[in-house]
Amino acid sequence: MTSKVTYLGDLRTSSIHTQSGSELISDAPLDNNGKGEAFSPTDTVANALASCMMTIMGIKARDLNLDFSGSTAEVTKIMNAEPRRIGAIEIVFDMQGVEDEKSRTILERAGMTCPVFLSLSSEIEKRITFNWK
């Protein structure tokens, strides 16, 4: 088992990661009858894409003796109305610490092979931008 999800009432859930015991609270968003006081389930999907891409890039960077610590990603989720679903995920990566173009290209391509990227429907537009400093 990966996690256990408990409905807390009032459109909120608690998810406990089985291996670590860490907790993730989700709340329905304001535009869907919720309070918007925590990540919504669809927010976590969009966030998972950026986190997964960074993790896969981190594995490749470690293999290449590169370090892009301090890099960030800004994530924007765009919902479609009918049917209500994620229509697009925009991620702007602000990357640091990698100087040469070849290494940057290798890391970018690695990120695009992350399991979340490959698992998301092709109907979800993925707008990915890398800004290297």
Query: How confident is the model over 19-35, as pLDDT tens digits?
Result: 999 999 999 999 899 99
Among 76, 72, 58, CA closest to 114: 58
CA-based angle 130:92:30, to the nearest 5? 165
Q: What is the pLDDT of residue 30?
A: 92
- Pull the structure tokens for residue 48: 């998972």
Q: Residue 8 is encoded by which pair of tokens?
A: 């807390």
Check residue 96 and give its pLDDT.
97
User: pLDDT value at position 5?
Assistant: 97
Query: What distances in angstroms separate CA 36 from CA 2, 90, 133, one per listed residue?
Result: 25, 20, 34
Which tokens in the block code for residue 53? 């891409």
At 77 the pLDDT is 97
Residue in 6, 5, 11, 7 with CA at minimum distance from that of residue 32: 11
Low-confidence stretches of the chain (pLDDT beneath 50): none
Mean pLDDT of the chain: 97
Residue 76: CB atoms within 10 Å: 11
| Nearest Cα residue to 61 out of 117, 94, 102, 93 | 102
pTM: predicted TM-score of the whole model, two decimal places: 0.94
Residue 60 neighbours by CB under 8 Å, 6+ apart: 106, 107, 110
Could you confirm whether domain 40-132 is CATH 1.10.10.10? no
